[in-house]
Amino acid sequence: MSAFERIKSGIPSLDKVLDNIRLGDNVVIQVTCLNDFKRIVDPFVNQSIEDKRNIIYIRFSSHEPLLEHREGLKIYQLNANQGFEVFTVEVHNIIKKEGTEAFYVFDSLSDLQVAWSTDLMMGNFFCVTCPYLFELDTVALFPVLRGHHDFTTIARIQETTQLFIDVHSNEKDTFIHPIKVWNRYLPDMYLPYRLNDDNQLEALTNSVDLADYYNLIHNEQRIQSEQNIDSYDRFFREAKESYYRGEITELTVNKIIRSMMTRDNKMASLIKEEFSPEDYFYIKERMIGTGTIGGKACGMLLARKMVANYLPEYGKYLEPQDSYYIGTDIFYSYIVENKLWKLRILQRSEEHYFDKAEELRNVILNGKFPESVRAQFRRMLDYFGQIPIIVRSSSFLEDGFGNAFAGKYESVFCVNACSPEDRLLQFEDAVRRVYASTMDRSALEYRKQRGLDKMDEQMAILVQRVSGTKFDKYYMPCAAGVGFSYSVYRWSDELSAEAGLLRLVAGLGTKAVDRTGVDYPRLVNLDSPQSTTLIRSSDKHRFSQRRMDVIDLQKNEVREISVSDLIPELPDWYLKLICEHDYETERMFYESGRPRSILFVSCDEIVKKKELMKMMKDILSTLEEHYGNPVDIEYTINFRKDGAFTVNILQCRPMSVWQSGTNQEIPEIEKDKTLLKVNQTFMGNSSKIDIDVVVWIDSKKYHCYPYNQKSSICSVISKINKYYAGTDKKLMLVSPGRIGTSSPDLGVPVVFSDISNFKILCEYADTEIGFIPELSYGSHMFQDIVETEMFYVAVMGTEQNGTEIFRKEFFRDEISVLKDIVPNAETYSDIIKVYEFSSAKSLKLYADFKKRTVICGINI
């Protein structure tokens, strides 16, 4: 059959009026009650079965079924409550499976608004489904309830569909009025008609008949007068009015939480317990668009609310919360409006999950926002003015229980030191970058590993004012970092894991969460904040923060500046807070007749502020208590010259931790059969692990490899990682310096997806070259290590630093199988070795969490 072929509707007079429904037509019928839709759909289904058509009923609503099971009718039962994306993909797959020239009847589109809370998403569903149905020369009938949706959504549906028909009825009459009939015309096509008891249409051509029709329409105007705003905005207005009358119901509160905050049951329960209706109304006022505000925004708001509820004495030290939230519906609308949905569906398939991601990422970066959304962006930017802001991902699944997505999605600073129009353009670019980061390989790998690749992952955005202090042309927090209510890293028996730990840096907190270059954050155990493993000032200097991330207001950009270059431009009161003198180096210069002041960043005076450290400890322990789970937070600290300070909680999420468990007996292994034995410098459970494969990176050969080619080594490790995926073999990576650093001079710059199948990570020192491990507790890489239950050990190289044994010659007599695993990798055979072990020669790792000892060797 050819496209646009006439088909029978089952009502001959309707066929005459419409010049027939045609193959490819989507028919939207707007009704006051679904019985009016059934008057049209029942004859259509009867006729389709008689004509031996492939007729399908898509059932997803809670209303009474429009059609019952019968021979010749196929019924699919779907669940719209799974979310927009899952539901839409399911419908797409049904349409694809049923193929060309299938006929469809859908449940009420209006019930999608009930499931997804907003008219916008219902309209998005229709706008992506209708073209696909048209492409396959199908015929589909959709009912939509009059007065339930805003005019904008109905206009979108009317513009997209081929036929749009209004049906009005009262106890006496049923009227049919074609509003849109695409690609054909008859002189009387757009007149209103009365449908009589014999299913005959009679044109209304005189004022007596038309009076009945228009009186019926006028009686419906009261309902339609509310259609200037989205149904969700109407719901929220009514909820607010009910609350101030003292009549708000639990059902209404639950709907607010589910539609605006989260669908995670555990998170929803915490929010319901801590928030008041006024809190929800305030959040709604600061939303752009509709949908949920996402996991990161929820976590931040919940943490702040818990502190306000249970630690009111610290209220004077907390900065006010004035963030904005771009709802998840804006993300999907952006995909739909820029005609990217077909590509997104393709990327969601198993076959194209990775290979279409880059293409989708690129087109997302070049999309446009509708003017209605840009107007809301402008109003928000007017509020912040020239104060810097940060545009942060706040995805549907982010920062929930079990899935942190740490570092997987973008956060983008907008300095705002420019004209209003440029601020808007830069902000839009930032939003696009966050949206595009959903297609980053590390995020896709993360989702796939956790079985989340088929789940709804809507991207909301949290827009936060950068909490900071202006130092002439620079803007930054005085200090920032991440905090943990439970610390698996203790460098002394006297320190408590339950006391919590801070990872503290000067300047923007980006230095606290990324394994970057030569920078070492200050680790603060809140049981004893001033405790440190470093005694000599030269050691403190060596393992200090060498660079600071700042916002340069003159250049309108975020910059990384060396501490030595920045110190002359900072006031003395601030330098006293963050810097110490390297007295040993100063003495050396003095004795050589070249006296000078040598400062390095340690944040020592900040750590000495007892009231601040107690506050951070109390906040972390309170959050853990009420979350019922260890947590980690991101924070900033700002000071005034007189010593007054404020703290801002930027993020909070449930934290995966290694539990100490029981003791693990550490066997005696002969020294010549021992690869390593270390104390303290490891993180993981008490364990006994049989190691099947060791991937060894030779420090000296790696160091000598050309700098601009070092990153290619990551691709070889990635191929090894993929080769063993799904084999149940336990892999150990032994690598110099820092695994996952951004600087190839300090270690191998892999991303987590390159090493996702490894069970053990071992960083080792080579001080002659300058490779030094860092226990990057709190970095994004660390979060991945904990969530996947990898075991981490750092071999620092000296007994003073906890290393009893480390034998680099251990694998000297083993044969590398690299060439068998990665073809054409001969170039790397001196740098990368792959050793396989069997039960006949078993390599094992034993770790005792409580005694803080780990040993790895051949134990026959």
> What pLDDT sits at residue 488?
63
pLDDT at residue 517 above 70? Answer: no
476 and 620 in a common domain: yes
| 324/448 same-domain check | yes
DSSP-assigned states of every residue in 826-847: GGGTTTEEEEE-BTTB-EEEEE
Dist CA 440 CA 694 (whole Å): 28
The whole-number pLDDT of residue 657 equals 61
Residue showing tokens 């710059």: 749
Q: Provide the pLDDT for residue 118.
A: 87
Query: Which residue type occupies 306?
Result: M
Q: How far apart are CA 350 and CA 555, in angstroms?
A: 44
Contact between residue 24 and residue 134 where contact means Cβ atoms under 8 Å apart: yes
Q: What are the φ and ψ backbone dihedral angles of 838, each rounded to 5 degrees?
A: -125, 175
Average pLDDT over residues 827-841: 89
Indicate which CATH number applies to the domain containing 35. Answer: 3.40.50.300
Grade residue 535 by pLDDT with cuts at 50, 70 and 90.
low
Helices 265-274 and 610-627: crossing angle in degrees, nearest 10, is 120
Tell me the mean pLDDT in the region 162-180: 92
Instruction: Tell me, yes or no, whether 12 and 125 share the same domain.
Output: yes
How many CB atoms lie under 10 A from the CB of residue 425? Answer: 11
Rounded mean pLDDT, 650-665: 72
Q: Which residue has the tokens 């906890």?
A: 802
Query: pLDDT band at 775, cuts 50/70/90?
Result: low
3-state secondary structure of 191: coil
Q: In a 10 Å sphere around its CB, with 0-12 CB exposed, 13-18 middle and 19+ buried, how is residue 651 labelled?
A: buried
How many Cβ atoms are within 10 Å of 159's Cβ, its own excluded? 10
| 661 within a domain of the structure (yes/no) | no
Q: What is the dihedral of CA 296, 300, 302, 306, to 10 degrees?
A: 150
Name 694's bridge partners. Answer: 732, 835
Tokens of residue 432, six digits = 């696009």
Looking at the predicted structure, is the pLDDT value of residue 623 above 90? yes
With respect to residue 419, please indicate whether it lies within any of the assigned structural domains.
Answer: yes
> Residue 429 has what pLDDT?
97
Same domain, 616 and 514: yes
DSSP 468-517: -EEETTEEE-SEEEEEESS-S--SSTTS-GGG-EEEEESSSTHHHHS--T
Q: Which range (146-160, 224-238, 501-515) has the least confidence? A: 224-238
- Domain residue limits at 130: 6-224
The verdict on residue 150 lying in a domain is yes
Q: Which of 34-43, 552-561, 800-809 has the lowest mean pLDDT?
A: 800-809
Q: Are residues 127 and 167 in the same domain?
A: yes
In a domain, 132, yes or no: yes
Residues 6 or more apart from 120 whose CB is under 8 A from it?
153, 230, 289, 290, 329, 333
Domain-ending residue, one of 224, 247, 279:
224
Does 172 score more than 70 pLDDT?
A: yes
Domain membership of residue 601 (yes or no) is yes
The string of pLDDT tens digits covering residues 748-771 is 988 888 888 899 999 999 888 878
Do 822 and 699 fall into the same domain? yes
Separation of alpha carbons 315 and 313, rounded Å = 6
Same domain as 642, residue 675: no
Same domain, 207 and 295: no
Neighbours of 586 (CB within 10 A): 16
d(CA 132, CA 134): 5
Reduced to 3 states, what is the DSSP secondary structure of residue 860?
coil
Listed as own residue / partner, the contacts of 534-538 with beta carbons closer than 8 Å and 24 or more positions apart are 536/584, 537/580, 537/581, 537/582, 537/583, 537/584, 537/585, 538/582, 538/584, 538/585
**Residue 485 to residue 126: CA distance in whole angstroms:** 46
Which one is predicted more confidently, 118 or 457? 118
Q: Is 427 exposed, middle or buried (0-12, 13-18, 19+ CB in 10 A)?
A: buried
CATH of the domain at 575: 3.30.470.20
* Residue 31: band (very low, low, confident or very high) from pLDDT cuts 50, 70, 90: very high
Q: 470 - beta bridge partners?
A: 475
* Domain end call among 620, 654, 688: 654
pTM score: 0.79
The answer to whether 56 touches 103, Cβ cutoff 8 Å, is yes
Q: Which helix (H) or strand (E) holds 237?
A: helix 231-244
**Pair (402, 480) in one structural domain:** no
Residue listed under structure tokens 């004035």: 322
Identify whether residues 77 and 213 lie together within a single domain: yes
Task: State the greatest distance between any 2 C-alpha atoms of the chain, in Å, as a whole number.
Answer: 112
> What is the H or E stretch that residue 309 is in?
helix 295-310
Window from 395-404, 418-427, 727-736, 820-829 with minimum mean pLDDT: 395-404
- Give the pairing type, strands 73-77 and 174-181: unpaired
What does the chain come to in residues?
860
pLDDT of residue 13: 95
Q: What are phi and psi of 146, to 5 degrees?
A: -70, 140
**The token pair that represents 822 in the structure block:** 């990665």
Segment among 55-59, 140-144, 762-766 with least mean pLDDT: 762-766
Decide: 410 and 393 in contact? Cβ < 8 Å.
yes
Q: How far apart are CA 535 and CA 383, in angstroms?
A: 48
Please give the Cα distance from 490 to 494 (Å, whole number): 9
pLDDT digits (tens, 9 = 90+) for 789-816: 788 888 987 777 778 999 999 998 899 9
Token pair recorded at residue 520: 């070492």
The C-alpha atoms of residue 323 and residue 463 are separated, in whole angstroms, by 6
Structure confidence at residue 589 as a pLDDT band (50, 70, 90) = confident
Contact at 8 Å (CB) between 460 and 392?
no
Residue 381's pLDDT band (cuts 50, 70, 90): very high
Q: What is the pLDDT of residues 6-24, one digit of tens each?
A: 999 999 999 999 999 999 9
Specify whether 216 is located in the same domain as 242.
no
Contact 127, 156 (CB under 8 A): yes
Token representation of residue 420? 């209003």
pLDDT of 241 higher than 90: yes
Mean pLDDT value of segment 269-276: 96
* In-domain check, residue 728: yes
- Assess whether pLDDT exceeds 70 at residue 860: no
What's the half-sphere exposure (Cβ side, CA atoms, 13 Å) at 259?
25
* Start-to-end C-alpha separation, the chain: 74
| Confidence category of residue 220, pLDDT binned at 50, 70, 90 | low
Contact 761, 739 (CB under 8 A): yes
Pairing of strands 163-169, 139-145: unpaired
Residue 779 carries which DSSP code?
S
How far CA 47 is from CA of 40, 176, 177, 197, 248, in Å, comes to 11, 20, 22, 18, 49
| Overall number of domains in the chain | 4
Please determine, for residue 245, whether its predicted confidence score (pLDDT) is greater than 70: yes
pLDDT at 395 over 50: yes
Let me know if 4 is exposed, middle or buried by CB neighbors in 10 A (0-12, 13-18, 19+).
middle
Flag whether pLDDT at 436 surpasses 60. yes
Average pLDDT (463-477) is: 95
Residue at a domain's end among 422, 452, 482: 452
In a domain, 460, yes or no: no
Is residue 161 within 8 A of residue 130, CB to CB? The reply is yes
Percent of the chain with pLDDT over 70: 92
Same structural domain, 726 and 582? no
The rounded percent of the chain whose pLDDT value lies above 90 is 61
Which of the two residues, 220 and 343, has the higher pLDDT score? 343
Amino acid at 806: F
Reported confidence tier of residue 743, pLDDT bands at 50, 70, 90: confident
Q: What pLDDT score was predicted for residue 778? A: 42
Average pLDDT, the chain: 88
Q: Does residue 665 sit within a domain?
A: no
Structure tokens at 392: 């942060």
pLDDT of residue 1: 45
What is the residue whose two structure tokens read 């749009």?
164
